């Protein structure tokens, strides 16, 4: 399972250095890449499905997606 499908792969904080691949900030709390920029192809044990969206989805900064994950009982 790759970072691009993880709810913690940021939609709002991204970069591409020197035309390289898009990297997004990992927003997981305490995960392997927490607070680091990661590419879509990376993965880690803190992965959680983003089926309701990213935890920082625009335009409400993830308010709806975090609430949906909390109702589901998964990690927000």
pLDDT band for position 8 (50/70/90)?
Answer: very high
- pLDDT for res 74: 66
Q: What is the pLDDT of residues 19-37, one digit of tens each?
A: 999 999 999 998 899 999 9
- pLDDT for res 52: 93
Spell out the domain ranges in the chain. Answer: 3-72
- pLDDT for res 73: 84
- Reduce the secondary structure of 20-69 to three states and give it as a string: CCCEEEECCCCCCCCCCEEECCCCCCCCCECCCCCCCCCCCCCHHHHHHH
- pLDDT for res 18: 96
Q: What is the pLDDT of residues 35-56, one digit of tens each?
A: 999 999 999 999 999 999 999 9
Q: What is the arithmetic mean of pLDDT over 3-23? A: 96
CA 74 – CA 24 distance, rounded (Å) = 22
């Amino acid at each position: 399972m790759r970072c691009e499908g993880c709810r913690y792969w940021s939609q709002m904080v991204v970069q591409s250095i020197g035309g390289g691949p898009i990297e997004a900030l990992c927003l997981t709390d305490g995960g392997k890449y927490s607070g680091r920029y990661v590419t879509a192809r990376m993965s880690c044990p803190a992965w959680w499905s983003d089926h309701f969206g990213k935890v920082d989805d625009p335009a409400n900064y993830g308010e709806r997606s975090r609430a949906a994950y909390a109702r589901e009982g998964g990690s927000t």
